[in-house]
Amino acid sequence: MTILRLIHIIITLHRYGLYQILKKSDRSSTFAVIVESCLFFIPKTAKDKSLPTRTRLAIEHLGPVFIKFGQLLSTRQDLIGPAYVAQLSKLQSAVPPFAGSIARAIVEKSLGAPLDSVFSDFSEQAVASASIAQVHQATLISDSSKVAVKVLRPNIERIIEKDIKLLKSVAWFVEKSFKDGKRLRPQAVIIEFEKTIHAELDFLAEAANATELYRLHKKDHKILIPQMLYDYCSHDVIVMEWMDGTPISDIKTLEAKGIDLKQLSHNGVDIFYTQVFDYGFFHADMHPGNILCSDDGKYIGLDFGIVGCLSEEDKRYLAINILAFFNRDYKKVAITHVESGWAPKDTSIEELESAIRTVCEPIFNKPLAQISFGQVLIKLFQISRRFEIEVQPQLLLLQKTIVNVEGLGRMLNPELDLWVTAKPILERWMKRQMGIRGLLHNLKNEIPYWSYMLPGFPRALVKSMTAIDDNVQQNIIFNKLLKSYKRQNWLFILAIITLIIVLCLKIK
Higher-scoring residue by pLDDT: 331, 441: 331
Higher-scoring residue by pLDDT: 431, 332: 332
Checking if the pLDDT of 209 tops 90, the result is yes
Cβ count within 10 A of residue 90: 12
* Cβ(245)–Cβ(292) below 8 Å: yes
**pLDDT on residue 291:** 92
How do beta strands 246-247 and 291-293 pair? antiparallel
Higher-scoring residue by pLDDT: 66, 457: 66
Phi/psi of residue 478, nearest 5 degrees? -60, -45
Checking if the pLDDT of 160 tops 80, the result is yes
Checking if the pLDDT of 76 tops 80, the result is no
Mean pLDDT across the chain = 79
Tell me whether residue 285 is one of the annotated catalytic residues: yes
**pLDDT on residue 462:** 64
* Cβ(265)–Cβ(314) below 8 Å: no
- Least confident range of 126-140, 279-293, 417-431: 417-431
Q: What's the rounded Cα separation, in Å, for the pair 54 and 52? A: 5
**pLDDT on residue 363:** 73
In sign, the C-alpha dihedral spanning 113, 119, 121, 123 is negative
Proportion of the chain above pLDDT 70, given as a percent: 73
* Cβ(129)–Cβ(97) below 8 Å: yes
Q: Which residues, in sequence order, are bridge partners of residue 281?
A: 309
> Considering 285, 303, 314, 417, which one is annotated as catalytic?
285
Model pLDDT for residues 345-399, shown as the tens digit of each residue: 888 889 888 988 887 887 777 666 666 666 666 666 666 667 766 666 556 677 7
Higher-scoring residue by pLDDT: 122, 324: 122
Give Cα separations from 327 to 332, 433, 450 (angstroms). 10, 19, 38
The pLDDT of 76-83, averaged and rounded, is 66
Higher-scoring residue by pLDDT: 261, 41: 261
**pLDDT on residue 445:** 62
DSSP letter, residue 299? E
Give Cα 158 to chain centroid, integer Å: 24
Checking if the pLDDT of 487 tops 60, the result is no
Q: What's the rounded Cα separation, in Å, for the pair 27 and 426? A: 46
Q: What's the rounded Cα separation, in Å, for the pair 315 and 277? A: 6
Model pLDDT for residues 401-453, shown as the tens digit of each residue: 877 788 888 888 888 877 777 778 777 777 776 656 656 656 666 666 566 56
Checking if the pLDDT of 502 tops 90, the result is no
Higher-scoring residue by pLDDT: 284, 317: 284
**pLDDT on residue 112:** 92
Q: What's the rounded Cα separation, in Å, for the pair 499 and 492? A: 11
- Least confident range of 19-23, 67-71, 500-504: 500-504
With cut-offs at 50, 70 and 90, classify the pLDDT of residue 246.
very high
Model pLDDT for residues 183-203, shown as the tens digit of each residue: 667 787 788 778 878 888 889
Checking if the pLDDT of 153 tops 70, the result is yes
**pLDDT on residue 260:** 94
* Residue among 275, 277, 250, 243 at smallest CA distance from 264: 250
Secondary structure E strands in 174-247: 223-224, 237-241, 246-247
Q: What's the rounded Cα separation, in Å, for the pair 157 and 258? A: 43
* Residue among 341, 347, 375, 370 at smallest CA distance from 360: 375
- Least confident range of 63-72, 122-131, 238-247: 63-72
**pLDDT on residue 434:** 64
Checking if the pLDDT of 251 tops 80, the result is yes
With cut-offs at 50, 70 and 90, classify the pLDDT of residue 64.
confident
pTM metric for this prediction: 0.72
